[in-house]
Chain A
Amino acid sequence: MEYMPNFQLHRPATAKEAVKLRSDNSAAQYVAGGTDLIVNVRRGIEQPENLIDLSAIAELKLINEDKDGLHIGAGVTLKEVARNKKIVSKYQAVAEAAAAVAGIIHQQYGTLGGNLCLDTRCLYYNQSEWWRQSNDYCLKERGDTCHVASGGKQCFAAFSGDVAPALLVFQAEVDLIGLKGPRRIPLAKLYQNDGMDHLTLKAGELLTAVHLPKVLAGCPSRYEKTRIRGSIDFPLAGAAVRLKMKGKKVEDFAIALTGVNPYPQIVKGTDEYVGNAFDDESLDKLRDSVRKQAKPMKTTTVAPWYRRRVIGAVARRLTEELAG
């Protein structure tokens, strides 16, 4: 780890104040836990003059339930998301995903909002300043070449948050607040397929809460990630599956992936299975379809072909398990 550079730390008490601080200060960034951002700051990937620490904002730490569903503040820690009884019982995949993030100590500091807004990752990007300089930087940061796909003008850095796919299968929405006020969008709209700029947030906008719809509460769901070690590691590939059966037949079915694209991705074509029962043939078809849609690139030390194969196998396994 490199040394910590100097910066001005701000600690606003409200979300509104945070947004104002961000717009008033140059080179400012939000820090929502810091387990990832601080590493990047020490590596010189981020060089903020101002860091706006969100940990003192009480309104971001609430979990409420009402007639519309469950509302989780963006400042709720991943540990709390993993253990909250309502989340565990009604949105199991979300709790499993939070429990799968890095290690237990990271979960104590890392927050839901931080995990959703996690920067994309790449072997050629998440390195020290000396390293990146010696490698002529890269497309994502100060350079003009992509080392993953040489000659390419697109950045393939992979989205590596665990919680997003679990929220996506539950059709979650997110609240954002900017200088012009708040807005609510589907979580899926928060992301776009660009490793350099994967968040659709407008300048200075802050994610404040996540909403999980009541209609899907209690729907069976699972999340599983593949990684080399059972702790610490980001997902090489991760899949969330939500599956509601009616007798032997599929009633409602959604899959979302992480770690295999620059954005967390909802698998297309799950509707095709609705009304049918699963058998080996259809499960194999599902596996192959997931493999086709996942597009992992050489952004980790583990070969892309393995991540593609394994994401299909994991999605198939979880589906089979939930189908009972």
Chain B
Amino acid sequence: MNEIKPTKSIGVPTPLVDGPEKVSGKAQYSADFMPSDYLVGRIFRSPVSHAEIINVDISAAQALPGVKAVITGDETDETFGILPVARFEYPLARDKVRYKGEPVACVAAVDVETAQKAVDLIKFKYKELPAYFTSQEAMAEGAVNIHDHRECNIEREVDYDLGEVDEGFEAADLVMEETFNCAEVAQSQMEPHAAIAEYDPTRDFMTIHASTQVPYYGHLMLAKVLKMEESQIRMIKPFVGGGFGCRTECLNVELICALVARAAGGTVRIVISREETFITHRGRPETDVEMKIGLTKDGVITAVDFKVIQRGGAFSGYGIVTILYAGGMVFGLYDLPAVRYKGLRVLTNTPPCGAMRGHGVTNVRYAFESLLEKMANKLSIDPIEIRRRNLLLGPKYETLNEMFINSYGLPECLDWVEKASNWKKRKGKMGSYKGIGIACGHYPSGASKPVNWSGEPHATVHLKLDWDGSITLLTGAPEIGQGSTTMATQCAAEVLGLDISRFQSLTSDSKFTPKDNGSYSSRVTYMVGNASIDAAINLKNILIDAAAKKLEAKPENIECLGEVYRAGTQDEGLTFNEVVKAALEGTGTITVKGNFDTLPESWGTKKYRGGAISGSMAYAYAAQVVEVSIDPDTFEITVDKVWAAQDVGKALNPLSVEGQIEGSVWMGMGQAISESTQFVNGLGITNSMLDYKVPTIIESPSIKVGIIESVDPHGPFGAKEAGETSLVCFIPALTNAIYDALGVRPLDLPVTPDRLMELVENSTTNKEAAE
């Protein structure tokens, strides 16, 4: 007889469970919901950057035949926003408009032509105010406040001093500082924003499908701005074409759609254009970083002092979190004995920024890794060696800001990339116009304190067991293409020892699935994975009890082999289906619940205001080597090869982990070499896929992925973050490689060919600039 074994799911490369619908074109995204009687919604947007609203005359638009509703800021006086402390955005502008493209009114009409005609009939009267498009302009003396309650247009100032910073610099043998500028970038996810809202006037009930990463937060905001009970709103997240953070907060699109649907007493579909998606924005802010590091002659860090200014746009969004991450996440990668930080989040008359992949961390890490490399060169220490000399003193290390670090695979990541890239033989010896560079990075596995503290568990998973032995996994965790549903299924399947084909899933429908905070800050694998394990353990216990009863044995003597439950090796046992029948007899189908909560030790520091941000249950680590060649005539940059090692704790699904790391590299490459949102007088001039330069497949380098498994003690089967860390490393690894190739160091992002040409030409006339 063959030995019976539970089926393994963890560590097995597994195609995504929602893949067949996507590749066959059957998957329904928000824009695909088109009931026969839907109305078309179109938004009237502000043509000016900053103005007091005098009047929005919608009378002619309302009178146009075929128009069913026209709404303005009068429709709701409730604000929305992700952070309770900075919730001051209206779905449609009320007192003022604060950026070009801000929604002012919305039309619902029988077809798109009528809707556009109505939009063209809206007369917008305003009194223009001075507008500020850079952080410096907005903070200048005498600047008008964009929001009355934010003096000098500072959304948040962060200031802290941990350890003995001045003494640290005094003890240093080498102190260097440098200023970096990172352009604003946008997610440019595949699917533009869309929502469809069906309002039933008889029952005063709203059903809404929207392209979101946070259906639960969306649900809360809909209830708030509509002034309806949550129970009267059903929020569904259908298939979503990527997010990368731009849908990490409720967007005005879904709110406006619901408001205009209620006003029209029917169903309204709003699918905004790519340009409007860029205007809705929530990307990574333009960031200025002044970085200063002190080193001993052996390359050991003695102190760090840095300042960050973020141009946040017209509303806060996640801004306060972003500026706190920028400070807090300087810790936890290397051993830093003293750190001083000043962060300024500035309000400007540009579209609001948000929480883009690598949130808050990316630009500071770029500055840090660039300057560290420059100093290593000065001290003639190999760039990998200098990083080794500053490693944390082990996984139980406590940083100055009290990070909860229990697994630390950075040393192994460095070893892997050093060997795989043949670093020692190639660094500095690549020949002219070719170079290699290295950098490291890290990222949390979800924020330990949720933005909306409600006392609810961080994550909940339901498993519904049916008579035929099938199990339905219900989770609010939004699958947005990252593979979260597959991950949650694998975790439950592993615990029960069953093949994942026994499982089906239902996700993100507020009427059926348990609440989940959403897909952001790399929280889902860690938190929802653990909740799924918990649910599966609870289900398994019920099945063991049922098997024990049937086999007349004690539960502790029941062995679960997945498809067979038996009392000892000599027992023939019961099949899974027999156990299921035994368990369901008399009670019917069973739904069990599993939860996950973070440990208070991981809630960050109380040493400064906002210290909870960057507190996480675990941190993923990465090292990356980038090989580059430069065209000597045009200075076009070609990324030839990338070696990306990431400590993901445990690769639950190596197939999607590899995909996440490749995607991170690729997205980092876009920010590094070609992407930036640009404005002329506050009007975005790069709001199309032609002018916003996301790299194409031709630019995509060969990427070798090294998965390092440090097995985090609290992670689901040891897993940690897998989708953001490797983005963070790419950018400095690239500029370090450019230095290796050309002997000049780019400071400003993106490193476009014209900037690089200018840098090289300046350096030949001015040797100073070349370091």
Contact = CB atoms under 8 A, between A and B. Distances in A.
Interface of A: 1-3, 5-6, 103, 123-124, 126-128, 130-131, 133-135, 147, 226, 228-234, 301-303, 305-306, 309-310, 313-314, 316-317
B697 A128 contact: no
Nearest to A2: B273
B753 A306 contact: yes
Given A2-B275, A147-B680, A317-B633, 11 more contacts: A5-B113, A127-B687, A128-B687, A130-B47, A134-B683, A229-B693, A229-B698, A230-B698, A232-B696, A234-B690, A301-B691
Contacts of B681: 135
Contact of A229 (B100, B101, B680, B699): B699
Given A134-B47, A134-B683, A1 B698 contact: no
A232 B693 CA distance: 10
Interface residues of B, number: 36
B422 interface: no
Contacts of A6: 113
Nearest to A230: B698
Given A123-B685, A134-B47, A314 B697 contact: no
13 contacts: A1-B273, A1-B274, A2-B273, A5-B113, A123-B691, A128-B687, A134-B48, A135-B680, A231-B696, A233-B690, A306-B754, A309-B757, A313-B633
Closest 3 CB pairs of A and B: A230-B698, A306-B754, A134-B47
Contacts of B636: 226
B116 interface: yes
Nearest to B43: A130
Contacts of B757: 306, 309-310
User: Interface residues of B: mostly helix, strand, loop or mixed?
Assistant: loop
Contacts of A2: 273, 275
A3 B270 CA distance: 12
Contact of B275 (A103, A131, A302, A317): A131
A147 B687 CA distance: 18
A208 to B, nearest CB: 29
B685 A127 contact: yes
A230 B697 CA distance: 9
Contacts of B674: 228-229
Contacts of A233: 690, 693
A135 B754 CA distance: 27
Nearest to A42: B273
Nearest to B638: A230
Interface in B622-642: 633-634, 636
A229 B753 CA distance: 11
Contact of A302 (B680, B683, B752): B752
Contacts of A229: 674, 693, 695-696, 698-699
B686 interface: yes
Given A123-B685, A301-B685, A230 B699 contact: yes
A306 B759 CA distance: 12
Q: Which of B699, B754, B757, B758 has the most CB of A within 10 A?
A: B754
A47 to B, nearest CB: 12
Contacts of B427: none
Contacts of B275: 2, 128, 130-131
Contact of B678 (A103, A301, A310, A313): A301
A301 to B, nearest CB: 6
Nearest to A300: B691
B63 interface: no
